Chains A and B, each alone.
Chain A
Amino acid sequence: MDPSPGVDKDLAARFAAIVGERHCLSGLAQRMTYESDGLMSLRELPDLVVLPASTDEVVRVVRLAREAGMPVVGRGAGSGLSGGSLPVPGCVVVGMARMKRILEVDLENALVRVEPGVTNLEISRRLAPAGYYYAPDPSSQSVCTIGGNVSENSGGAHCLKYGFTAHHVLGVRLVRFDGSAVDVGGPALDAPGYDLLGLIVGSEGMLGIVTEVVLKVLRKPEATRTFFATFPSTDEAGAAVSAIIASGVVPAAIEMMDRLAIEAAKKATGVDWPDVGAALLMDVDGPVAEAEHTSRNAIGLATAAGALEVRVPHDEAERQLMWKGRKSAFAAVGRISPNYVVQDGVIPRSEIARVLREIDRLTREAGLRVANVFHAGDGNLHPLVLYDARIPGQEKRAEELSGEILRMCVRFGGSITGEHGVGAEKSAYMNDMFSPGDLETMDVVRSAFDPERRFNPGKVIPKPRMCGEASGRLSGDAREPAP
């Protein structure tokens, strides 16, 4: 570990003067709490951590960081799985733990205005009495923040019908590299000019610090119908997914688990699922007649595709338990293996069965185990590669297998990440998916927002492979003044 001494006393005092002594963390032990996000294999000690309480404090923090020449890394709950909020050497981490108010609930216009540190679930909790909710539902929703969701363009099981974070963000306030705060978007659609909001959502903390967010909220659907179907193998389950989608049904969610994932979920949550090769958990929702019709249809199609058994929950408690089994799958896998790596590559959903067989083959070749639990409706895989770090060489093999799976996703016409982001972890794989021209264009866009590369430098966009291979503008841009 880097025994970084942190910033000098005078500088720390200046940050402390902005956010308050208690919210400026310069001690080694305090800083160590921030050295990783949810991807624990990557660690870097920040020089300083500050917890501002307002846009104004963020503005002053960014100005001081600029004066001191420090990179700035935004941080929500640190639940990210790609090293997005992993500190970079010499940086100040700007944590959102004190900016978690819901500022406005406007149901006439079906929107809320919130600070970025509020958790995803808190918004739906607040709206529940009125019968509204915030749609994107990452499995981490009880801890992850809206600021993190905006930065990662997070998804969730129910994004199949309702869309991702990008479809639900109406506006943000962004503090830029020079400490200016700008409002982008807002309660009205189609503001004149470029769709900057589209760029900011999913930008992984590289364009500025988000200090306020306006979100669309939805009325709860009238009815939800859920079923759980088991299959001999992922082949039949994959065929069932294809048949359901092809029938014109737009399910709210279809999740797939393979044998190992089912085994883990059973151990962790006590769901009484059978030992089978694969299972699907599916929700359809909407007006009650529509939900009933589509769920009957989907059950018919699952049966025709070879389902062994279809279970329909008797009540809401049983339904919640089924979903708990699914949503706690990551934690559950932790119980059957000391360590795992998880990726979230995407494939065309019609290729699910083929890709899972291929993953199985690669896994056996590597002498490892992989649990698959994923958003099947949109082809967003989550292969959890299990390993034991105490066994020499296993971690490396697990990482290699994980990488091989990502490259396979790209070969099948998919993506290296469907929701977790590229972060620090997958920037090297960007070259598999994008050409130097694509990446240079993204870098140019980034420079328009942050010409000094103040925010989260080194993430997402890979360094050019070698001199001359990518355009020289990549490094030239960094020193250009702001236009």
Chain B
Amino acid sequence: MRAAGLRPGAPNDAIAGVVPRQVFTPSSVEEAARFLGEATRAGRAVAFVGGGTELGLGAPPRDLDTVLRTAGLDRILEHSPADQIVVVEAGLPLAALSRALAAHGQRLALDPPLPERATAGGVLAANTFGPLRTRYGGPRDLVIGVTMVRADGTVAKGGGKVVKNVAGFDLPRMLVGSLGTLGLVARVAFRLHPIPEVVETLRVGGLSGEQVLALVRALRERQLEPSSVTALSSGSGWELAVVFEGFSAGVAQQRDRLVEISRGAGTPFDLLPAGDASAFRVRHDRIRTGPPVRLKVSAPPASFAGGAREAVSRLTAALGGADVVWYPTLGLAFAAGEVAEPARLRPAIDEARADLSRIGGSAVVVSVPDALRPGLDPWGEAKAFGLMQALKQRLDPGARLAPGRFVGGL
């Protein structure tokens, strides 16, 4: 290992308040593998950090010796425009990738907040996504291959670099959302999409939750294919933005039909000028990344008129100045705000989880001040936990990869 890649840990290297003894920044996958194998053999606990945009997820590590940063693994290894695939190293920031792809009229259809910092490996490991998930799916739907480094330093790949491929077990999907507890995501292959010719955003404000769901249902019934549908809380109601992308004829038709549907429903949409569309996006990103307390709620989409709405209300009631991002077609929402009364937060999360578990949903802490972490379970209960335990035990028998960060203390 090169000395240049190794330095002592500092307070701003902390993961959920735990400062590592040292920070290692490998400059190749082989170097990362060698380091990891040696570290775990010596019993040292290692956690991985990409752009550091999702470090609020998970519990504080039980034990932490080294933070391995992927910042030095930031190359595009292969981009085949004709095949619409790209293979990158894990530490490449999404924005840098986008710039390279845009030169060929292509993009990775993943639009999480903070793309200048969020890395390819990080979004995979944290299952991070943005509004485009509505149409293109999340990381699990766009990843086609990975190279991982296991706790013992074994380098293993799964999937490949063609879009269609069913050879072998699906290691790429296994790693989605695993938060570095099964292995280092070292290289990632993604499928790409063309950059659309036209993008239009339509917006309507002052909606109730029922009205949002009714519009979403009407969109589907009337066979529209939006690329994103995003609601932001505003006062006591919702502001809803629908984005259409594609060729201009198709976008125009869809826009006109949405306007017609929404007039009929008494909730007419406006076409947003580009500047206002990006202001909406900025507000979206601020809610997703800004407030100190943020929770992700997941439930069947239609339950956001019932049980899931209750759960979201319980959470927002326990926060100061709360805001919500809601993806109504996906059944996912992020509630975010300030700490109002610290003592109310945990009971609110427990109650929200009780509501959600009845409808098959969940509430996960995305971010919370370190002072509030003791005794707080950021994940809630995981179904099939025995299987998850077995998987972790097999791939990281010494529990040296970010121990304790994941569900149930894995």
- A residues neighboring B (CB under 8 Å): 106, 108-111, 131, 152-153, 155, 159, 163-164, 166-167, 176, 180, 182-184, 186-199, 201-203, 219-222, 242, 245-246, 248-250, 286-294, 297, 346-350, 375, 378-380, 413-422, 426, 430, 433-435, 437-442, 444-449, 451, 460-461, 482-483
**Chain B: minimal CB distance from A253 (Å):** 13
| Docked complex: B127-173 residues within 8 A CB-CB of A | 127, 137-138, 140-141, 148, 150, 154-158, 160-173
Interface membership of B352, Cβ < 8 A: no
Contacts A189-B298, A375-B164 given; does A198 touch B173 at CB 8 Å: yes
Q: How long is the Cα–Cα vector from A350 to B220 in the complex, in angstroms? A: 34
Give A301 Cβ to nearest chain B Cβ, in Å: 14
9 of the cross-chain contacts (CB-CB < 8 Å) are: A188-B362, A193-B177, A195-B175, A248-B105, A248-B247, A288-B253, A293-B249, A379-B164, A438-B156
Report which of B82, B221, B406 forms a contact with A242, defined as CB distance below 8 A.
B82
Q: Which B346-398 residues sit within 8 Å CB-CB of chain A?
A: 359-362, 364, 379-395
Q: What's the Cα separation between A251 and B338 when bound, in Å?
A: 46
Min CB gap A249→B, angstroms: 8
Could you tell me the distance between the alpha carbons of A163 and B163 in the complex, rounded to whole angstroms?
Answer: 9
Closest beta carbon of chain B to A214's beta carbon, Å: 10
Does B171 contact A442, Cβ atoms closer than 8 Å?
yes
Main secondary structure of the interface of B (DSSP, over half): mixed
Set A196, A444, A482: member contacting B395, Cβ < 8 A: A444
Q: Is the CB of A188 within 8 A of B166?
A: no
Closest to B393 in A: A483
Partner of B394, one of A219, A294, A430, A444: A444
* Residues of B with C-beta under 8 A to A437: 154-156
Q: Are A350 and B80 in contact (CB under 8 A)?
A: yes
Chain A's closest residue to B213 (CB) is A108
A176 to B386 alpha-carbon distance, docked (Å) = 11
Residues of chain A lying within 8 A (CB to CB) of residue B390: 448-449, 451, 482-483
Say yes or no for B8: interface residue by CB 8 A criterion.
Answer: no
Minimal beta-carbon separation of A101 from chain B (angstroms) = 20
CB distance from B303 to the nearest CB of A (A): 8
Q: How far is the CA of A292 from the CA of B246 in the complex (A)?
A: 13
Q: Which listed segment binds A: B60-68, B189-197, B200-208, B262-270? A: B189-197
Q: A182-B383, A193-B388, A413-B161 are in contact. List 8 more A-B contacts (CB 8 A).
A: A189-B330, A190-B332, A191-B362, A196-B387, A198-B140, A201-B170, A435-B156, A445-B171
Total interface residues in chain B, CB < 8 Å: 94
Indicate if the CB atoms of B82 and A418 lie closer than 8 Å.
no
Asked if B96 lies at the interface with its beta carbon under 8 angstroms from chain A, I say no
Between A187, A189, A221, the greatest number of chain B beta carbons within 10 A of the residue's beta carbon is seen for A189
Given A222-B223, A446-B169, answer yes or no on A190-B127 (Cβ-Cβ < 8 Å): yes
The winner among B165, B330, B395 for most chain A CB atoms within 10 A is B165
The one of B83, B127, B296 in contact with A379, judged by C-beta atoms closer than 8 angstroms, is B83
Known: A155-B164, A195-B173, A350-B80. A250 touches B383 (CB 8 A): no
The 6 closest A-B pairs by CB, nearest first: A198-B173, A290-B250, A248-B194, A350-B82, A193-B382, A289-B253
Contact A250 B194 (CB under 8 A): yes
CA distance A167 to B220 in the complex (A): 18
Q: How far is the CB of B12 from the nearest CB of chain A, in Å?
A: 28
- A290 to B, closest residue via Cβ: B250
Instruction: Please name all residues of chain B whose beta carbon is closer than 8 Å to the beta carbon of A192 when the two chains form the complex.
Output: 362, 364, 379-382, 407
**Chain A residues in 8 Å Cβ range of B225:** 221, 286-287, 290
B299 contact from A188, A380, A415, Cβ within 8 A: A188
B195 surroundings in chain A (CB, below 8 A): 248
Assess the B167–A430 pair: CB atoms within 8 A. Answer: yes
Q: How far is the CB of A82 from chain B (nearest CB, A)?
A: 10
User: Which residues of chain A have C-beta atoms less than 8 A from B173's C-beta?
Assistant: 166, 195, 197-199, 201
Q: How far is the CA of A346 from the CA of B81 in the complex (A)?
A: 17
Across the interface, which residues of A come within 8 angstroms of B155, CB to CB? Answer: 437
Contacts A286-B250, A418-B165; is A445 near B174 (CB within 8 Å)?
A: yes
In the bound complex, residues from chain B placing their C-beta under 8 Å from that of A176 are 387
Q: Which residues of A contact B81 (CB under 8 A)?
A: 246
Q: Render B75-106 as a binary contact track against A, CB cut-off 8 A, 1 for contact.
A: 00000111111000000000000000000010
Q: Which residues of A contact B394 (CB under 8 A)?
A: 444-445, 447-448, 483
